[in-house]
Amino acid sequence: MSSIYSRRQPPNPGLGLTALALLLASCVPSPAGLAIDPLQAPTHPAPARVEATRGLPDPWTATPTYDPATPTTQPSPTPSPPPRSRFEGPTAIGTSVAGRPLEVYRFGNGPSQRLILAGIHGGYEWNTIALADELISYLRQNLEIVPPEVTLYILRAFNPDGAARSRSYAGRANENGADLNRNWPFDWARTWPPTGCWSYLPINGGTGPASEPETQALLRFLLAGHIEALISYHSAALGIFPGGHPPHPGSLRLAEAIAEVTDYPYPPIETGCTYTGQLADWAAQNGIAAVDVELSTHYSLDLEQNLRVLQVFLDFQPWVRSTQDQKTPAPH
């Protein structure tokens, strides 16, 4: 079970973006007694006039002559880079604890970047990985459905170690025994009350916020790629969870749009679980419209419904504001 639906008080802020400073230093020594500002270009005194000798012109006043008979060399035009392909993958954005690649597929090359993620709970939610593979295959055969302004990424298995380990309870955690949907730097906790939560085997939120290499790799990818919208697939049966505490306006709009084309419960089913360190909550805090979507069972793909979800996600406009959306952050 995963995700978030306005159950807790707003937590302390998570990670922010770090500004880069540029240092400009002069390598030219300054004349004695002259102070030079290192942020300004150094100035040099004009050289003393050099008198012409042996019939040569003064080097500071002579005007160079131009011989029209002398050919001039024109610079070669810089070749334009080839257009970016509309499909690429798989590309590894990082590795798991055990060294397995975190593989991403890219469809389209537009400026609006968005991500579908599966397998955050490894083999325990193996059907989300199988769904991601079906979506990848469908998109490769129907690339024209991706709007020209959109780039869609699919990360097919965020927890490949758990996926390789087991398709049962033992496959939920990563190789360090951490729940990768409890490891994000937003309202993080190592442990949480078991009431209403998944508790079949011991599991924790990691040794600290973003302690796991999988989390670190995806966090860098989301921020560096300026991802604007995100769907994280889970199983099973609890419905559609918009990210944020309280839910982020963009996340709410995305959740409502998905609910219109599926029969997944929305609002989601409440179990009394306390959700901590969630990916969708962290994403919403960082201005990304994010939702968790739970498949109907632990073995079905709900492919027909999720092809409709795919189209909704491709057409979704993260920065179109509604009357309830006035505080949505501006795009990156």
| Residue 276 CA, distance from chain mean position | 20
Residue with tokens 């909550």: 281
Tens-digit pLDDT string for the chain (332 aa): 444 333 333 444 444 434 333 333 333 333 333 333 333 333 334 334 333 333 333 333 334 443 444 454 555 666 665 667 899 999 999 999 999 999 999 999 999 999 999 999 999 999 999 999 999 999 999 999 999 999 999 999 999 999 999 999 999 999 999 999 999 999 999 999 999 999 999 999 999 999 999 999 999 999 999 999 999 999 999 999 999 989 999 999 999 999 999 999 999 999 999 999 999 999 999 999 999 999 999 999 999 999 999 999 999 999 776 544 444 443 33
pLDDT value of residue 233 = 98
Can you name the residues that pair with 95 across neighbouring β-strands? 101
φ, ψ (nearest 5 deg) of residue 94: 165, -170
* Residue in 138, 86, 143 with CA at minimum distance from that of residue 110: 86
DSSP designation for 204: B
Rounded alpha-carbon distances, angstroms, from residue 269 to 91, 265, 323:
36, 7, 27
Which burial class, exposed, middle or buried, applies to 73 when counting CB atoms under 10 A from its CB (0-12, 13-18, 19+)? exposed
CA distance 210 to 199: 22
Whole-angstrom distance, CA of residue 255 vs CA of residue 249: 10
pTM, 2 dp = 0.74
87-315, what's its fold? Aminopeptidase (3.40.630)
> What phi and psi values does residue 291 have, to the nearest 5 degrees?
-140, 150
Please report, for the chain, the start and end positions of each structural domain, with discontinuous segments joined by +: 87-315
Q: What share of the chain is helix, strand, coil (3-state, %, to 5)?
A: 25, 15, 60
Q: Please, what's the largest Cα pairwise distance for the chain?
A: 100
